[in-house]
Amino acid sequence: MPTYKNEKSYPISFGRHYWVPGEEKRVPFFIPAEEIGLTVVSDDPKPRSQVLYSGEVTVPPGETVTLPVPYCGKLSLQAATEGDDVAEIHLGERAIRLDGNYGLDLDSLDWGRLGEISLSSSAGATVNLLVMEVS
C-alpha cells in the first residue's frame, strides 16, 4: 500500500482519508499526492491490480476448466471464443453459450454470487477471458 505524509502545517484530506500535520499513512490505492499537498513516502507495495484475469483459456474436448475468482465486491466479465469454437461459460447454476455470433459482456456482477467461473466445450475451444474488479 502506498504511503503518504502530510508535511504541511494544516490538515489534508482525500476522500475518506485524513492526515493531520506530520502524519504518515498507508492507503490501499494511489492518490494525487502532489495536487493535494502530500509527500509520497513509498509507492510499495503497489495496490492490487483491478485486472483479476486476462488471457486465453484452452478447454479440452468434453472437459470443464474452473477458474477461481479472487475476492472483490463487484466485477465485470468478458468472454468470447475464437473462430468457430463453441463453449459454455457457467456462472453459478446457469450456462451461457459462447460461439462466433455470441460472446458475453457483463458488468457489475456480485462476487458473492459467483466465486468461480467454469468453462466447458464438447469439441474443445479457446476462450478469451477478461475479469476485472469494478467499483
The b-or-e profile of 27-52 (16+ CB within 10 A means b, else e) is beeeeebeeeebeeeeeeeeeeeeeb
- What pLDDT was estimated at residue 79? 97
pLDDT at 121 over 80: yes
- What pLDDT was estimated at residue 32? 92
Confidence at 118, pLDDT banded by 50, 70, 90: very high
Q: What is the mean pLDDT of residues 48-55?
A: 89
d(CA 64, CA 120): 4
User: What are 68-116's pLDDT values in tens digits?
Assistant: 988 888 999 999 999 999 999 998 888 999 999 999 999 989 988 888 9
Q: Which three cell numbers stand for residue 11?
A: 490538515
pLDDT at 29 over 90: no
- What pLDDT was estimated at residue 114? 85
